[in-house]
Amino acid sequence: MAAPYSMDSIDRKILALLQEDASAPVSSVAERVNLSQNACWRRIKLLEEAGIIRRRVALLDPERLGVGVTVLVCLRLMEHAPEALERFARAVRDMPEALEFYRVSGEFDYILKLQVADIAAYDRAYKKLIQSIRLADVRAFFAMEVLKRTTALPIG
């Protein structure tokens, strides 16, 4: 694990502003953190070079794109040989509907977050999964309501 990057309060303010709107002009960010435009730009570049800012993206509305159903899938595998696990991980990474994929401790081996159009689309994704590896248990939970959805990390 990489060592934490040493940041001051201005770096934190810059990150908070960019998490809110990554398309904000540097001039606007600089004004809000009381820096010159050049000084602010240099700090942003340093944060990028340090890997704190990994990339800047657009957040899309799943409902408007016709993929408004969020499914959390808990998976327990039948086999745990390294080559089988890699084949499974590759299959999941190749699924556009798979937004998040975690190896976890506890009762299940993996938790997967899918964004799909409907139950039929989930079923197609499920069929892709079972072609890649033998599963001992699969439990799917369909989100009924989004109570919080954010990409903003706590930055203290």
Closest CA to 107 of 72, 139, 142: 139
- For every one of its 156 residues, what pLDDT tens digit does the chain have, with 9 covering 90 and above? 667 778 999 999 999 999 999 999 999 999 999 999 999 999 999 999 999 999 999 999 999 999 999 999 999 999 999 999 999 999 999 999 999 999 999 999 999 999 999 999 999 999 999 999 999 999 999 999 999 999 999 998
- Give dist(CA 46, CA 66) in Å, integer: 38
- Domains of the chain from N-terminus onward: 10-49 (1.10.10.10), 69-142 (3.30.70.920)
Tokens 């159009």 belong to residue: 117
What's the pTM? 0.87
- Give dist(CA 133, CA 155) in Å, integer: 38
